Amino acid sequence: MSLRRFRNIARIGPVRVGTAYDQRGREKHTAVCTAPRCDFSADYDTRAAAELAARTHRCPVR
Ligand SMILES: [Zn+2]
């Protein structure tokens, strides 16, 4: 997943949180895990929610 179009990218552990606009021009906040073999990625309505998800994310046991 590309994070190029995101701004305000923050790194929280292995997870990156970025803010972008969707096709309807609404702000969205995405958390993406960059750890190998972890494909966690989710969108949130608020930055706080995305950062909370990043802080509490645990990669699946492998
Ligand atoms: Zn992960």
**Per-residue pLDDT tens over the stretch 18-27:** 999 888 888 9
Q: CA angle, 21 as apex, 33 and 18 as ends, to 5°?
A: 30
- Distance from the alpha carbon of residue 23 to the mean position of ligand 1, in angstroms: 26
- Distance from the alpha carbon of residue 58 to the mean position of ligand 1, in angstroms: 6
Identify the pLDDT of residue 44: 96
Q: Determine the Cα–Cα distance for residues 13 and 25; give it in Å rounded to an integer.
A: 29
| pTM (two decimals) | 0.83
More confident residue, 60 or 57: 57
54, with CB counted inside 10 A (0-12, 13-18, 19+), is: buried
- Distance from the alpha carbon of residue 24 to the mean position of ligand 1, in angstroms: 28
